[in-house]
Chains A and B, each alone.
Chain A
């Protein structure tokens, strides 16, 4: 017990987790927004938009996240000298957020597209028949139903994103898994306790997301 208190006193465990939460929050908002746009382009009747979206999805989805994060740091900051913020840590935080957003957007897009496939074609036809254009029909009829049908895969992507925030350590962002590594390095005798702290911490963040997802997917299911 004393050991655990010692760890919490000596190392920024809470700050680490707080960074993961902030990374997850901002990345999920921007990745989801980008995902909706990608999904819309993907299903749009405009060939070039659909092609552009497919190209982005297939390209980015196949790059490992670590590579994206390192690239963001090395290329943007190291090579091109592009600094998003004068503060060192904030700069790395922003770069990691961009990498996380880019990486997860295709997964959100594909989740939403799987939701679009749950919406019968007749819904789009009825929307067009009352004179709605493609984007109005998508916004008012298709996407709302698609999102309701895609809550589970969206939730799964969100959970993956939360856990993937640990990769930001590769981009010099101080977060929980990085704190874990430091703690283990200097206190190898407390390895099990350290591991448990981090594992429980992530569980406490992720489990509610899973529960909310399940609850929402039942509550918002479209009855046909």
Chain B
């Protein structure tokens, strides 16, 4: 017996390409993300980071050329019920929060469990309150999202994703739309999640967070993963010229 597990990776992307018309947004992406890994994605604007995230829960389709994506050993289905079910297992936190504007904070969090997971309303509300308390916005449960600060809204969005009990959480620049003083409160929640063993793919340029919570770092450029390394290694010893160039730019900002 070895301690090594030969478990399939939680997220597997193999030979994935993505074109928007003539433009190639992703080229030959091959990554395996094991359970519990926190994978940071960095790269210049337009390098395909959002597209990468969005293909993982199929908000974007991928080219039909043999490349594929698996979640927990299952191919992403084409459309319909199976796809919806799979999406429920992949949480997503957007740069612009995207809370349901006409629903209260509590309803934002209970909607998925009630409508998709068929959890009874009482239980869903009880669990939602636990998640909201955990991210520190339990007090705001009855308010509409528009009445919350950006940092609070993003924490609600994280609670909404968590309430689905996802296998993996995707974050697409979760702090980029926030006022500087609110960035930390959101990062703190994410650090807690990472420490709690959540599998995460996080597009971010927050180096402090990357070093603290990241197990792995992907550097993207022009649709390709150019470096696949650790945050420490990347920030102290970037291998490619493109990465060095990129780092020099964000460090002088």
Contact = CB atoms under 8 A, between A and B. Distances in A.
Interface string A125-165: 11111111100100011001100100000000000000000
Interface of A is mostly: helix
B88 interface: yes
Interface stretch (B92-100, B180-188, B202-210, B212-220): B92-100
A126 B115 contact: no
B146 A223 contact: yes
Contacts, number: 70
Classify chain A's interface size. Answer: 20 to 34
A47 B115 CA distance: 26
Contact of B98 (A125, A132, A136): A125
B112 A223 contact: no
Nearest to B85: A131
Contacts of A131: 84-89, 112, 116, 164
A128 to B, nearest CB: 6
A140 B111 contact: yes
Interface string B103-132: 000000001100110000000000000000
Interface residues of B, number: 31
Contact of A128 (B87, B96, B146): B87
A130 B88 contact: yes
A130 B81 contact: no
A222 B102 CA distance: 6
B251 interface: no
B101 interface: yes
Contact of A130 (B96, B112, B144): B112
B174 interface: no
B100 to A, nearest CB: 6
Given A148-B102, A224-B101, A132 B144 contact: no
B59 interface: yes
Interface of B: 57, 59, 80-81, 84-92, 94, 96, 98-102, 111-112, 115-116, 144, 146-147, 157, 160-161, 164
